Structure 1
Amino acid sequence: MAVTMSQRTSEHLRAVVDMGSNGIRFSISSLQPPTARIMPTLYQQRVGISLYDAQYSATGERQPLDDQTIAAVISSFQQFKLTCKDFGVPEGHVTVLATEATRTAQNSDDFRKQIKETTGWTVTMLPKEEEGRVGAMGVASSLPEISGLVMDLGGGSTQLSWLIKHRDSTGVSMPDKGAVSMPYGAAAMSRRLVEAEKNGTVSGLKKEVQKAVQEAYESLEVPKELHDNARKNGGFTLYLSGGGFRGWGYVLMSKHRVTPYPIPVINGFKAARKDFLDTKEVMHAAAKALEEDQDGIFRVSERRAGQVPAVAFLVNALAEALPQIKEVRFCQGGVREGYLFSKLSPEVCSQHPLVVATEPYDSPHSSRAIADLLLAALPTKPADAAQDDYRSVFTTEFLDAFANLMYYHSSHSRDLQSSSALRSTTSGVLAGVHGVFHENRTLLALLLCSRWGGDVPPSDEKFKHNLEKLVASPWTLWWINYVGAVASLIASVYPAGTADHNKGRVQIKASWAKDEKQRPLLAVAVAFGSGVDAQCFSKELQSIEKVGKKKRWIGGRDGLGYKVDVRADAGTV
């Protein structure tokens, strides 16, 4: 079972204050095993105090942080100190991190001194390079694997770096210098752009930004591995983090071909190059969101929408300054996540977030045997006519995560099982998990839904259809229906999971054959153990075979799918 709040021990709690340029983020996380890799958040709050804006007068002149702003910051710190006490966070487990706006404030020393005197907390100033390194680690925490360029867009500055984190590796590779920091944050660029438009120097500003980005890229000495991958795949993947870029990502989600976009979290969202660089379309959407009679865009505040022109300016500059970008991937991880992730061991960092998140629900720790049964139901070699690569989709890690959650909705009524499973990765048990691709959220939700029969009420039909439209290949949708049916059989044979006393009740073996017209045929051999009556599972066996009926193919009789032949034998295991 999952570790509850009362079961968490204080020694594993970590409180972090991320004092950025656009706002201050307070959080309390747990690094308690076995879920340390996903750094569960117990509390989080953002206070909208812009330390960057507070340093400029109405006339645009630079000024020290005023007493009112400092008082508001200290008040929020004192409230968080009480919150830490409520959660039982040890005093030595509170870390205050400050970045560009605090670093460059004219009265930074006095500001930090007042925080120390009133709260007892020392403000840790992150130098430019270290800020980039911590931000890069935040990106590394955001996904199971990363290989490409990284940009973190804050309020006062932006950092450029590269990152390599293989799924099966215990290490994270990045430049020795961490990252190159440039003074082109979302708030800073907004101010610079207004001045440039007033003075007629927009083209000069663009050249300045392009030159800085080009020099930053050249200084990073991007390794050959990334260059080779870019040549092979048609360009680099650019990983984006920071509030400015996240706002851009939410606008792209609002304009996605699948509307409404079914996954609300920005972390793991992917956009193609052409969509990312379509600045006119994004600016138009943001402008409409600022109109009084519009409802706005989900998770895009008026402040973020107002910064879209500056971000668009930066995006245009990036397109010309950086090498070919194939796609962008948005990441939620920032300074807070990077700081916590850097405290974990390499072995923990290498764990797959989806497996870690679902392991607490593996009871009685039987998922490994169940995952092996599921894997055995997938043929080891593709059919001659198969055009899909199902083995790359249903990986060992993915099947482990699925097996961990196969019984989670058993306590729900039959009316709720499919729909609750369908929403488990977006608003259910896995909604808050850090480090998961949108593709995995989509596939796992659909597979869990299929495991419970796949029928959802009318209120969830549109949501399910939109998730299905996110799946890259219709072949994958067919395999989801097939694996879900196999999982239903396994769960019926092992209603409480596998254990030492009941292993060997069933074995499954799938292979490719040919039907009478020499078309691919998926042959599934199911062998039941001694004492197990195969007749008790005739409904589940028929469900597997029905997946192969043409009327159940993806797209109907003229669509995509395979004929399935199920042979069951009793007492042969």
Structure 2
Amino acid sequence: MALNTPNAEHLHGLVDMGSNGIRFSITDLSPPTTRILPTLYTSRAGISLYDAQYSSTGSRIPIPDSTINKVIDKLIHFKRTCSDFDVPESNITVLATEATRTALNSEEFRGRVKQETGWEVQMLKKEDEGRVGALGVATSLGEVKGLVMDLGGGSTQLTWLVSDTETGEVKMPEQGAVSMPFGAAALSRRLEEAEKRGADAKKALAGEIKQAITNAYQSLSIPKELQDLAKQQGGYALYLSGGGFRGWGFVLMSQHAISPYPISLINGFCASRRSFLDTDLVTNAATSHLDSEDETAIFRISQRRATQVPAVAFLVTALSEALPHINEVRFCQGGVREGFLFSSLPSETRKQSPVVVATAAHATPGSPHHAALLASAIPPATLPSTGLSIPLITALANLSPHYSSHPKDIRAAAALRSTTTGLLASCHGLSHHERTCLALLLCHRWGGAKDLAATDASFFSSLQSLLSPSTAWWCRYLGCVAALIGAVYPSGRGDESMTLSATWSFSKKKGERMMVLKTSDGKGASLRSVVEEEAEKVEKVGKKKNWIGGKEGGVGFKVEVL
């Protein structure tokens, strides 16, 4: 990333002094990509302010001078880094949470920081910490509707959240969140002490946590819209953030049925209730990781994080007993940094779709027309059942011409990896479902599986396995339609003379349900002769041997292009 930028006034430096570590970041809030919070720089110092406040005998002590000096050294280095990036001094913020807030020498510690760096440390209150963390979750996905938990080192917060994609409003309880002293590091210490005292002490701790979570949930006054949604979907969605929960997610990812799991990012990873609550599976995997001499046995799980897994398992068990039925769990990368920045954005920016924002810079003047054509290639009222969405279709239209400049040998492969290690890998706010769908849509746009080398074919299969057979088929179909549109408009531009319309019908021979895609030019004449090759590829998607799952028992529809 270049150090110079024409939008220095939009650069923001932020320090998040958490309990388990200190995070430094520089974010570019320049429009039009403000919504996805593009990160120019990020770093983490493994300084545990929580652990530093306990002696070898387990007694509470002030933050030692040696630790304070390490923190100040890191802050001074970040100050130089901000200067290198031309971050305005007025745009640099230092936030502190539980460990600093409760330190015996908190005032002295913050005074030293002010003296050495000139920066005032902003203390987040318990409720504000939960509110900011919840807003961080809101940045992590295009839409959030459910319960939210943030697991830090010293505390955990519980709240509910509804992000309205129509208005950009983010609704949560007036009190923000309920904070409980059960962070990953804090709970690890308490669990260790309880185990030394015996089974009764451990049982008492479990009861204390369960009761605290129950009381927290009851105090939140869950709105009727969330209650109704939970009834409709068979339970609440639970959104998790914070290092402790993300560690749990990475272990679940390592044990996933699709192995190796094809997406390395934790943000947007979704787990079923059953797998999330399988504490034995996660704990055993973490134990094996600790016993292994290979530090990369489980991706993104440090030895320290692995030692905290039993405590997180203890908390997860309490969650399962205290909270109402949870239908699914979604892991989020967004935390204090993202939430603090998001809180300053106007509603018009908040309501934007991350996948559309991320691809808009690559759009051509013809992209809106191409998006309309793609949408019209799906029969009326069918879109909700496809697993796709208007934002995904818009993103496909925006990126459809992008890989035309690549050598033909790698177009499909580059498109396939665009959302995981390629063009959109760093985009914040996409779910794994969106990354998978867009990757497959673009891959099929540029030839699909038949144009992939062996090394990419296995990755293609793993990605496709993350989707339902129905959604995978629609990705294949719409990707081929995008290729058809591209044949008419190879530059991504051109007038709006082409129209598409799709309807459901029945085949003449067997009376099977089929889709008819009609092409026409500005005068109503068919374009079939102009795009014969591409039209045949669309029809091939509808042949039973090409259905997802194969000819016998596969999923798909016959397609006829007129």
Please tell me the TM-score bracket, short chain as reference.
Answer: over 0.9
CA contact (8 A) 2:386 2:470 kept: no
TM-aligned CA deviation for residue 169 of structure 1: 2.8
CA contact (8 A) 2:3 2:85 kept: no
TM-aligned CA deviation for residue 36 of structure 1: 0.4
TM-aligned CA deviation for residue 150 of structure 1: 0.7
For 1:419-468, what per-residue CA distance to the aligned partner results, in whole angstroms no more than 9, with x for missing partners? 01000000011111111111111000011000001121100111110111
Q: 2:156 corresponds to which residue?
A: 158
Q: 1:488 corresponds to which residue?
A: 483
Q: 2:210 corresponds to which residue?
A: 210
Change (3 A) 1:519 1:381: farther
Say which SS state the counterpart of residue 253 (structure 1) adopts: helix
Q: 2:439 corresponds to which residue?
A: 445
Change (3 A) 1:533 1:479: closer
Q: 2:268 corresponds to which residue?
A: 268
Say which SS state the counterpart of residue 95 (structure 2) adopts: strand
Q: 1:461 corresponds to which residue?
A: 457
TM-aligned CA deviation for residue 497 of structure 1: 1.3
Q: What amino acid is the match of 1:339?
A: F
Change (3 A) 1:101 1:556: same
Q: What amino acid is the match of 2:424?
A: L
Q: 2:313 corresponds to which residue?
A: 312
Q: 1:570 corresponds to which residue?
A: none
Q: 1:92 corresponds to which residue?
A: 90
Q: 2:17 corresponds to which residue?
A: 19
TM-aligned CA deviation for residue 292 of structure 1: 3.2
Q: Does 1:519 align with 2:515?
A: no
Q: What amino acid is the match of 1:19?
A: M
Residue from 168, 171, 178 that aligns with 2:169: 171
Q: 1:393 corresponds to which residue?
A: 387
TM-aligned CA deviation for residue 7 of structure 1: 4.7
Instruction: Give the whole-Å Cα distance in 1 for the aligned partners of 2:279 and 2:445.
Output: 42
Say which SS state the counterpart of residue 27 (structure 1) adopts: strand
Moved more, 311-320 or 544-553: 544-553
Instruction: Give the whole-Å Cα distance in 1 for the aligned partners of 2:72 and 2:252.
Output: 36
Q: 2:502 corresponds to which residue?
A: 510
Moved more, 227-236 or 307-316: 227-236
Q: Does 1:426 align with 2:426?
A: no
TM-aligned CA deviation for residue 557 of structure 1: 2.0
Instruction: Give the whole-Å Cα distance in 2 for the aligned partners of 1:406 and 1:374.
Output: 11
Q: 2:56 corresponds to which residue?
A: 58
Q: Note the 1:528-567 alignment, pairs <5 A.
A: 528-529=521-522, 535-558=529-552, 559-567=554-562
Q: Does 1:435 align with 2:429?
A: yes
Instruction: Give the whole-Å Cα distance in 2 for the aligned partners of 1:532 and 1:525.
Output: 8
Instruction: Give the whole-Å Cα distance in 2 for the aligned partners of 1:278 and 1:393.
Output: 28
Q: What amino acid is the match of 2:455?
A: S
TM-aligned CA deviation for residue 528 of structure 1: 3.1
TM-aligned CA deviation for residue 168 of structure 1: 2.0
CA contact (8 A) 1:369 1:498 kept: no
Residue from 408, 417, 428 that aligns with 2:402: 408
Q: Note the 1:126-141 alignment, pairs <5 A.
A: 126-141=124-139
CA contact (8 A) 1:377 1:508 kept: yes
Q: 1:371 corresponds to which residue?
A: 371
For 1:39-81, what per-residue CA distance to the aligned partner results, in whole angstroms no more than 9, with x for missing partners? 1000000000000000001110111111111110000001001
Q: 1:120 corresponds to which residue?
A: 118
Say which SS state the counterpart of residue 287 (structure 1) adopts: helix
Instruction: Give the whole-Å Cα distance in 2 for the aligned partners of 1:445 and 1:512.
Output: 27
CA contact (8 A) 2:519 2:526 kept: no
Task: Output the TM-score relative to the length of structure 1.
Answer: 0.94
Q: Note the 1:32-111 alignment, pairs <5 A.
A: 32-111=30-109
For 1:237-296, what per-residue CA distance to the aligned partner results, in whole angstroms no more than 9, with x for missing partners? 111100000000000000111111111111111111111111011000000001134442
Q: 1:386 corresponds to which residue?
A: none
| Paired-residue identity, % | 55
Instruction: Give the whole-Å Cα distance in 1 for the aligned partners of 2:225 and 2:560.
Output: 45
TM-aligned CA deviation for residue 529 of structure 1: 4.6
Say which SS state the counterpart of residue 268 (structure 2) adopts: coil
CA contact (8 A) 1:390 1:476 kept: no
Change (3 A) 1:535 1:6: farther
Q: 1:385 corresponds to which residue?
A: none
Task: Output the TM-score relative to the length of structure 2.
Answer: 0.96
Say which SS state the counterpart of residue 261 (structure 1) adopts: coil
CA contact (8 A) 1:271 1:329 kept: yes
Q: Note the 1:303-382 alignment, pairs <5 A.
A: 303-363=304-364, 365-381=365-381
Number of equivalent positions? 554
Q: 1:253 corresponds to which residue?
A: 253
Q: 1:498 corresponds to which residue?
A: 493
Q: 2:278 corresponds to which residue?
A: 278
CA contact (8 A) 1:139 1:332 kept: yes
TM-aligned CA deviation for residue 560 of structure 1: 2.2
CA contact (8 A) 1:512 1:523 kept: yes
Q: What amino acid is the match of 2:503?
A: S
Structure 1: unaligned runs, 5 residues or longer: 383-388, 568-573
Say which SS state the counterpart of residue 170 (structure 2) adopts: coil
Instruction: Give the whole-Å Cα distance in 2 for the aligned partners of 1:82 and 1:470.
Output: 44
Instruction: Give the whole-Å Cα distance in 2 for the aligned partners of 1:552 and 1:323.
Output: 43
For 1:1-42, what per-residue CA distance to the aligned partner results, in whole angstroms no more than 9, with x for missing partners? xx9865541110010000000000000001110000001000
Instruction: Give the whole-Å Cα distance in 2 for the aligned partners of 1:302 and 1:110.
Output: 32
CA contact (8 A) 2:137 2:334 kept: yes
Instruction: Give the whole-Å Cα distance in 1 for the aligned partners of 2:409 and 2:228.
Output: 51
Change (3 A) 1:461 1:315: same
For 1:359-411, what per-residue CA distance to the aligned partner results, in whole angstroms no more than 9, with x for missing partners? 01112x321100011111111155xxxxxx66553322111111111111121
Instruction: Give the whole-Å Cα distance in 2 for the aligned partners of 1:321 and 1:213.
Output: 6
TM-aligned CA deviation for residue 532 of structure 1: 10
Change (3 A) 1:53 1:147: same
TM-aligned CA deviation for residue 318 of structure 1: 1.0
Instruction: Give the whole-Å Cα distance in 2 for the aligned partners of 1:314 and 1:390.
Output: 36
Say which SS state the counterpart of residue 347 (structure 1) adopts: helix
TM-aligned CA deviation for residue 555 of structure 1: 2.2
